[in-house]
Each structure stands twice: as structure tokens, then as C-alpha cells.
Chain A
Amino acid sequence: MHYSPAPLHIPDGFLSVVVAVILWIVSLAGLGYALKRVNQDLGERQAPLMGVLAAAIFAGQMLNFTVAGGTSGHLLGAALATILLGPWAAIVVMVCVVSVQALIFQDGGLLALGANIFNMAIVGVAVSYFAYQTIRKFAGNQRWGLLVGGFAAAWLSVVVAALATALELAVSGTSPANVAVPAMGLIHMLIGVGEGLITIGALLFVRAARPELLGRSAASGRAGRAVWAIGLVIALVLAVLSPLASAHPDGLEWFAEQQGFIDRAQSPLYDLIPDYAFPGISDPALATIVAGVLGTLLVFMVALGIAVNRRRRSTSTPG
């Protein structure tokens, strides 16, 4: 067993700076509010409980099962966390999981972390909450409500997070919407089934061992209804936007160009100083060669410095 990266974690380099920064801001706002709400609910217990449960979701993601032909599925956990902890604690826990994955295991980038938090912790939790609470309302306290609600929440959280990822890539100009959206969507409709089954397995175990834990998930009052509504809106918007975007990829392309002034090949400055490539050098190929020579010199000097330093270290410590 080893740490296996999930396909939803966007690495750095794939998102435009504007998209990354906007999603950072949205995610931080969501996290800030969630932290406040959890503090109201749990008080002094917040830090230890959130820390340990984040570790548990992380460890739970390592419990893989063989699907077929050497591939294996494993838990992502947003739905499970939402059902067991309620939306606010689930957001905090998933933010911790996604952040540690990026910081320690480079699963997902650091600049892209805002987007990954948005997709898995905010969208994933809101959509799970919407799906689960809706179905539970119809089912009352019956077993099928737990199973169908758990499955739907898990499946939807994965699929919707994948669609959000695809749209973010399209808006960044990294992947055309008419390819990315159906591809990501279809793959995650399958992955979502695994997520659904594994979530059901976890819920059945909890129901058998500690049924009282299943009662806590509903968030109270207006904020709870707000999460439900946000989940509904996100699910609806993505359900409408995704086919639209893949049918008319030019729309997103236009979007990408509008904000793409930062990562377009030709910057506005290019027009101002047309023939000025590298200080004093006009030919781009030549500029690259000069950069290569400079870079090689730098690396060579560093390597030399290290070698000298090592020799000094080994002579000063005999044996």
C-alpha cells in the first residue's frame, strides 16, 4: 500500500493565476465561516476533534479496494464527513485533508490549493449535504434513506467536483471544455459509484456500531438551509453549465482570453517594445541560448560550492 494520488487534485501550472486567486478567496471565506460555526458547536473540543477526524479521513482514503485489472478505488470522504459531522465540521476536516495532501505529498499544487479546497471541501460538502438531507427528508429514519442518501451524496459530490475541476481548467485555457467536461464527467461518474458504495459501507458500520452518531449531521437554522440551497444551486449550475460549455467551448475560450492577459503568450508590453527580447538581444532563440548558458553557469557554481564544502566537512571530521 502506498499513497495514491486522486485525479481531482489539480497540480500547479494548470490553472491561470486569476482563477487560482479567485478560488482562494472564495475558499478562505467559506473556511472562515465554517471555523466559526464549528467553534460555536464544539467549543474547546474543536481542535482535538477536527484534528483527529481529519487524520481519520486521510487514513480512510488509504483503505483501497481492487476494482479490476490492477486498478483500485478508494474513498475521497467529503460525503461521509458531511453525513457524520455536519457541513461545517466537514468543510474544516476536508480543508485540512486537502491542504496536507498538497503541502506534504504534493498531491495538488499550492497555488492551486484554493481551487482544490473549493472543489473538494466546499462544493463537495455543499452538494453532499443537499443530496443527503433531501433524501433523508423523504425517507424519514428508514434504512433505505441512509443508503440511498449516502450513495447519492457520495456520487454527486465526486461528479460535481469533477465538473467544477473541468470548468476551471477550461476557463484557465488549459483544456478545451468540449473535451475536459465530458471526459472528467464520465470518468468520475464511474469513480463516483465506488465512492457511493464505500460510503454506504462506512455508514452501515456506523449505524450498527454507534447509531447515535448518525443523528448529528443536520445543521440547524438558517445557515443549514443556506448550505442546502448552495448545494442545490451548485449542482444545478454545473448540471446546466457543463453541457452548455462542452457544446459551446468558444464561450469559455472567450472568458479565458478576457482574463488571460496574464498568461497569454503576447503581453501588452510586447507591443510596446516589439524587438526587445532579452536585455540587448533581439532573437528569441538566441535569448534562450543565453539563458541556457547563464543557467548552466549558475548550476555549475553551486555544484562546485557544494563539492568544496563537502570536502571541508569530511576533512574536519576525521573517520
Chain B
Amino acid sequence: MHVHFLDPYRPRPSLIHALDPRVKLALALAFILAVALTPIAAWPVYVLLAALLLSVVLLSELGVGHVLKRSALALPFVLAAIPILVTAPGATLWEATLAGLSLRLTDAGLARFGSIVLKSWLSVQMAIVLAASTTFPQLLLAMRALRVPRLLVAIFGLMWRYLFVLVDEALRLLRARAARSAAPTRPIAGARPGGSVAWRARVAGGMAGNLLIRSFDRGERIYAAMAARGYDGEIRAFPMPPIPAGQRLALIGGLVLLALLVGLGHLL
């Protein structure tokens, strides 16, 4: 059990993995910002951004399928944008009456819906590549470089470390519950196996409460372990190593390219 199912990091001998985490985080955020700044229905720019993304996915050697599969996570939210198809004012493309409701699909609605879905999909894939090609300790370093307060970075680091410990604890609690929740061998009149929904919710809540109490105690023990090694409340770390010149160039080149694409989008 050496790769935890929660850890999205996938080691590969790729250029993207080798990129300095500070450069990688900055470029990934810039890409997502560029996608957001590109106007609705600037299709040529979307195509170029998609090509850029696909190149990065290929370079990362994570596998196009892996990235696509994970990107389905953001799909359910598309529901929220569906009404825009028929409410945005514009030229009618198609009309239908559904249960007495007259629905009018408009060109502007379609363009807006398509753009939102595409933007969302491009952004989430870049975020997936970032998480899958960068270890969390590297991300912490990148956060420091982006001026996230040290205390917050330290809290993130501790959270990451104990996430796995506590998720494993949560799994043990769930397993213990599963081991005790057998269905009755013969149906009992009037009784539902597993209790009511309210009861099940309260059992789950009890487990969450249990987890929190144990975490209070663990927090105290960790504090003791930190204090025993000299921790005094101030967060200290090594100074950050400089970013190599080549990577600096890659960062600037990437930012310029993205700015050009956004500019192009506004010219269309």
C-alpha cells in the first residue's frame, strides 16, 4: 500500500515533472486565468489553448486517458449552466414546447454555454496535470514563493501529513461499521435494515465526532513533539534555492504566449 489512493501524484520521467514547482504553479495559474479572460465564443483561441493543453498533457507523460478520466469530476456542475441555453437573448436556432413551457434555443445561449463548458474543461485539466506532476512538498515550496503566509503553508503541510493518517482512521471506522451492519436473515415486519436515514446520518456524525476528538488529542501530542525539538511558534525553513535561468526563461515565454492568446481573443 505504498501509493495512497488519495494522493494524485503520479511519478513520471517527464519534462513537466522536472519543471521547477514555482514555475509550474505560476504557469498553471496563468493558464487558468488566461482561459477565464478569453472572451465568450473566441473559438480560434480556445482551439489554440486546447492544443497548448494537449501538448502539456503529452509532455507530462501522464496519459491523455488518465487526465480525461479525472476531468469528468467537474462535469456535474455543467447542469448549472444548461438553462443559459434557452434564456440568453439571441437569434432562435430551435424551438420546442416542453410541458407547456416554450423553450427557445438561441445562438448566443449556445455560444455562452459551449464557452463555459469548454473553459471549465480546459482549466480543470491543467489543474489535474499540476497536481499529478507535482508532489505536495513541492507545491508547498511553490506556495511560499507565491507569498502565501508561512504559517498557512505550515498548516497546509501538517494537514497533508495527517490527512492520510486520519483518512485511514476514518476507513477503519467505516470498516468497523460495515462489519457490524448485517442485514437480518429473515425480514422482520415493520423493521428496516440499517435503521432510518436519520439514524444512519447520526451514526456517521458520531464517527465524525470521534475523529475530531481524537484529532484534538493528536494535535496536542504533535505540538509536544514539535516543542520537544525546539519549536517556538515561529515557522522556520531553508531559504529558497534560486530558479535556474532556463526555467526563468520558460516562465517568461509561457506568460507572454498566454498574454498574446488572450489579446488575440479580444481582437476576434
Chain A residues closer than 8 Å to B212, beta-carbon distance = 53, 56-57, 60, 80, 84, 202, 206
Q: Which 4 A-B pairs have the closest CB atoms?
A: A201-B205, A51-B158, A295-B51, A13-B120
A201:B203 contact, CB within 8 angstroms: yes
From A205, A270, A306, give the contact of B205 (CB < 8 A). Answer: A205
- A75 lies within 8 A of chain B by Cβ: yes
A11 to B77 Cα, complex, angstroms: 7
From A51, A63, A99, A306, give the contact of B173 (CB < 8 A). Answer: A63
- A7 lies within 8 A of chain B by Cβ: yes
- A50 lies within 8 A of chain B by Cβ: yes
A176 to B108 Cα, complex, angstroms: 14
Chain A residues touching B, majority SS: helix
Name the distance in Å between A94's Cβ and chain B's nearest Cβ.
12
A5, A55, A169: which has the most chain B beta carbons within 10 Å? Answer: A55
B203:A59 contact, CB within 8 angstroms: no
Chain A residues closer than 8 Å to B266, beta-carbon distance = 267, 269-270
A194 to B61 Cα, complex, angstroms: 41
Which of B91-99, B183-191, B226-234, B240-248 binds A? B226-234
Name the distance in Å between B148's Cβ and chain A's nearest Cβ.
10
Name the distance in Å between B208's Cβ and chain A's nearest Cβ.
4
Chain A residues closer than 8 Å to B194, beta-carbon distance = 66
Name the distance in Å between A51's Cβ and chain B's nearest Cβ.
3
Chain A residues closer than 8 Å to B170, beta-carbon distance = 59-60, 62-63
Contact with B along A7-48 (1 / 0, CB 8 A): 101111111010010000000000110010001000111111
- B251 lies within 8 A of chain A by Cβ: no
Name the distance in Å between B217's Cβ and chain A's nearest Cβ.
9
A82 to B137 Cα, complex, angstroms: 29
How many residues of A sit at the interface, in one of the four size bands?
35 or more
Name the distance in Å between A77's Cβ and chain B's nearest Cβ.
8
- A259 lies within 8 A of chain B by Cβ: no
Name the distance in Å between B247's Cβ and chain A's nearest Cβ.
18
A43 to B227 Cα, complex, angstroms: 12
B131:A103 contact, CB within 8 angstroms: yes
A2 to B70 Cα, complex, angstroms: 13
Chain A residues closer than 8 Å to B108, beta-carbon distance = 265
Chain B residues closer than 8 Å to A240, beta-carbon distance = none
B215:A53 contact, CB within 8 angstroms: yes
- A58 lies within 8 A of chain B by Cβ: yes
B119:A13 contact, CB within 8 angstroms: yes
B227:A44 contact, CB within 8 angstroms: yes
Asked whether A278 and B44 contact (CB < 8 A) given A201-B202, A273-B267, the answer is yes
Instruction: Sample 19 A-B pairs with CB under 8 A, ordered by A number.
Output: A11-B77, A35-B149, A44-B227, A44-B232, A49-B223, A55-B215, A56-B212, A58-B159, A65-B201, A66-B197, A103-B127, A109-B127, A174-B84, A176-B87, A210-B213, A263-B37, A265-B39, A265-B111, A269-B266
Asked whether A7 and B201 contact (CB < 8 A) given A12-B119, A287-B268, A302-B58, the answer is no
Asked whether A174 and B111 contact (CB < 8 A) given A52-B162, A313-B13, the answer is no
